[in-house]
Amino acid sequence: MTALTETPTKEDLWDRAGGLNGIGAAVGILAATRVGQLVMIWWLNGGVAEPRSLWERLLIWDAGWFLRVAMDGYPEGYTYGASGQLEGNELAFFPVYPMLIRLGAAIGIDPSVAALTVAWLASVCAAIALHLLGSSLYGKRAGWALVAICCSAPASVVLSMAYSESLFIALVAGMFVAAHRRVWWAAGLLGLLTALSRPTGAAAALGLAVAALLALRRDDQHDGQPTWKPLTAAAVALAGVPLYLGWVAYRVGDLTAWFKIQTAGWGTSFDYGASTGKFLWTTLRSGDGWVPMSVALILLAALAAAGVALAGKPWLPIAVYGVVAMILVYGQAGFYHSKPRLLLPVLLTLLPAVVAAARARPRVAVLSITAWALFGLWYGAYLVTVWPYTL
């Protein structure tokens, strides 16, 4: 499963990805998953006690927070409930996605329409970036497999919702493509935007730093680029998460403000995996509830997949990003049913299936990915229609 070691030129990568036809196929795969899942949401929605419109389903939960940030801005400080207890507020949400919503609203688009338009356009960009990344690392078929497997994963429904995952995946995949090709100005810019999109952007920035160090260690500096370019790209990306957390601390007047807001609003705190371990132990012992059981199995399967991926010695920046991101997901307390969504951008867990699909006979690969997609798309549709809790 070892990735290709050479750094492709722009022309090499374009040819390896299949050119315009290859990109079109990747976008077509994305479109098929999104349309199929929307049909499933519509179908399941008709069977619930209190049906909502399809539009409302795509604008629930975190979407409201992003819209409030976009239209009302961030609060000046902490928010307290009627009894004086600290509550979560909009400062928990990183700024890039709401800024894009606000930009859409500024040119006259309804904020809800802007939120979904940004998410859907970002999904298209994510499909293109994933295809380029998979093609750059393992070849054209792997690029298509990466798009299909990621965009039909059990939590991939958020790619159609007013959530930031589609934007994050587009940015992180694009960042790694740029780093693999040594286009450092693009890698640094995309890395900064990634870090300002979600907290796990810190893991992506570490991956970019590793890519920069690998570039400096290469003996054949055939591209003649000065050493400051990869170092600057890494430094810019690494600054993103601290910049936002520092701004929140300054705005509130408390160095740990962001962490306190996360804990107060969503029970999110880093407990070194104690709560995740307790959830797995309790759920697997009791077998109570098929959604908790399925989440537990997804978490275990993701760990196993990451282990297989690491054994195959993938490109080191992807490995570092994936391991650190998984530590952040498994190591924090919070809503257990949100963890599959948080794992969606962790590309490392997808690599074994991607490489296997790329090496299999086309018919076998198509049938296998189709079976995966049917379950994953239905699962996500179920979570936003029948399951009553947030993703």
Residue 15's pLDDT band (boundaries 50, 70, 90)? confident
Tokens describing residue 366 = 């198509």
Predicted confidence (pLDDT) at residue 4 exceeds the cutoff of 60:
no
The candidate with the shortest Cα–Cα distance to 187, out of 127, 230, 130, 133, is 230
Report the C-alpha gap between 125 and 123 in whole angstroms: 5
Predicted confidence (pLDDT) at residue 179 exceeds the cutoff of 60:
yes
Residue 218's pLDDT band (boundaries 50, 70, 90)? confident
Q: Work out the average pLDDT over 247-267.
A: 97
Predicted confidence (pLDDT) at residue 150 exceeds the cutoff of 80:
yes
pLDDT of residue 11: 62
Residue 80's pLDDT band (boundaries 50, 70, 90)? very high
In residues, how long is the chain?
391
Q: Work out the average pLDDT over 211-216.
A: 94
Predicted confidence (pLDDT) at residue 221 exceeds the cutoff of 60:
no
Pick 63 or 9 by higher pLDDT.
63
Residue 390's pLDDT band (boundaries 50, 70, 90)? confident
CB 152 within 8 A of CB 372: yes
Q: Are strands 86-87 and 332-333 parallel, antiparallel or unpaired?
A: unpaired
Tokens describing residue 89 = 């507020």
pLDDT of residue 226: 82
pLDDT of residue 8: 60
pLDDT of residue 37: 98
Pick 207 or 46 by higher pLDDT.
207
Cα separations in angstroms, 75 against 71, 254, 339: 12, 14, 27
Predicted confidence (pLDDT) at residue 220 exceeds the cutoff of 90:
no
Residue found by looking up tokens 């994050």 in the block: 168
Report the C-alpha gap between 86 and 36 in whole angstroms: 41
Q: Work out the average pLDDT over 123-136.
A: 98
Q: Work out the average pLDDT over 110-130.
A: 98
The candidate with the shortest Cα–Cα distance to 18, out of 135, 116, 107, 100, is 135
Residue 48's pLDDT band (boundaries 50, 70, 90)? confident
Give the whole-number percent of the chain exceeding pLDDT 70: 95
Tokens describing residue 331 = 């190591």
Q: Work out the average pLDDT over 18-31.
A: 96
Predicted confidence (pLDDT) at residue 314 exceeds the cutoff of 90:
yes
pLDDT of residue 225: 67
Which residues fall within 8 angstroms of residue 146, CB to CB, at 6 or more apart?
Answer: 130, 131, 133, 134, 347, 350, 354
User: In the chain, at which residue ranges do the beta strands (DSSP E only) sit?
Assistant: 79-80, 86-87, 269-270, 332-333
Mean pLDDT of the chain: 94
Give the whole-number percent of the chain exceeding pLDDT 90: 90
Q: Work out the average pLDDT over 166-192.
A: 97
Q: Work out the average pLDDT over 46-61.
A: 90
Which residues fall within 8 angstroms of residue 94, CB to CB, at 6 or more apart?
Answer: 164, 196, 197, 198, 199, 201, 244
Predicted confidence (pLDDT) at residue 351 exceeds the cutoff of 80:
yes
Report the C-alpha gap between 238 and 205 in whole angstroms: 5
Predicted confidence (pLDDT) at residue 51 exceeds the cutoff of 90:
no
Largest Cα–Cα distance of the chain, in whole Å?
65
What DSSP string describes 270-334? E-TTHHHHHHHHHHHHH---HHHHHHHHHHHHHHHHHHHHHHT---HHHHHHHHHHHHHHHHEES
Q: Work out the average pLDDT over 178-195.
A: 97
Q: Work out the average pLDDT over 156-163.
A: 98
Half-sphere exposure of 189 (CA within 13 A, CB side): 7
Predicted confidence (pLDDT) at residue 140 exceeds the cutoff of 80:
yes
